[in-house]
Amino acid sequence: MTTQYDIRFAIDPVTAAGLGTEELRENFLIEDLFALGEVRWTYSHYDRMAVGSAVPGEGSLALEPIKPTGTGAFLERREMIVVNIGEPGSISVDGQDHAVGSRDMLYIGMGAKDVRFAGNGAKYYLLSAPAHARYPTTLLQQSGAKRLDLGSNATANERSIFQYVNADSVKTCQLVVGLTQFAPGSVWNTMPAHVHDRRMEAYLYFDLQPDAFVMHLMGEPQETRHLIVRNEEAVLSPPWSVHAGAGTGAYTFIWAMAGDNVDYTDVDKVAMEDLR
Ligand SMILES: O=C[C@H](O)[C@@H](O)CC(=O)C(=O)O
Ligand SMILES: [Zn+2]
From 148, 157, 161, mutation site for ligand 1 pocket: most ligand atoms within 8 A of C-beta? 161
Q: Which atom of ligand 1 is nearest to the CA of 199?
A: 1
From 47, 158, 180, mutation site for ligand 1 pocket: most ligand atoms within 8 A of C-beta? 180
Taking only the tens place, the pLDDT of each residue in 91-147 is 999 999 999 999 999 999 999 999 999 999 999 999 999 999 999 999 999 999 999
Taking only the tens place, the pLDDT of each residue in 173-183 is 999 999 999 99
Averaged confidence pLDDT in the chain: 98
Which candidate, 199, 186, 182, 183, places its Cα nearest to that of 243?
199
pTM recorded for the entire structure: 0.98
Share of the chain above pLDDT 70, in %: 100
Looking at the structure of the chain, the number of domains it has is 1
CA angle 46, 256, 160 (to 5 degrees): 145
Interface predicted TM-score of the whole assembly (ipTM), two decimals: 0.97
CA angle 144, 214, 29 (to 5 degrees): 90
CATH number at residue 106: 2.60.120.10
Task: Tell me which H or E stretch contains 28.
Answer: helix 21-28
Rounded-to-integer distance, Cα 137 and Cα 106, Å: 7
The parent domain of residue 28 ranges over: 3-274
Taking only the tens place, the pLDDT of each residue in 221-255 is 999 999 999 999 999 999 999 999 999 999 999 99
Cβ atoms 233, 30 nearer than 8 A: yes
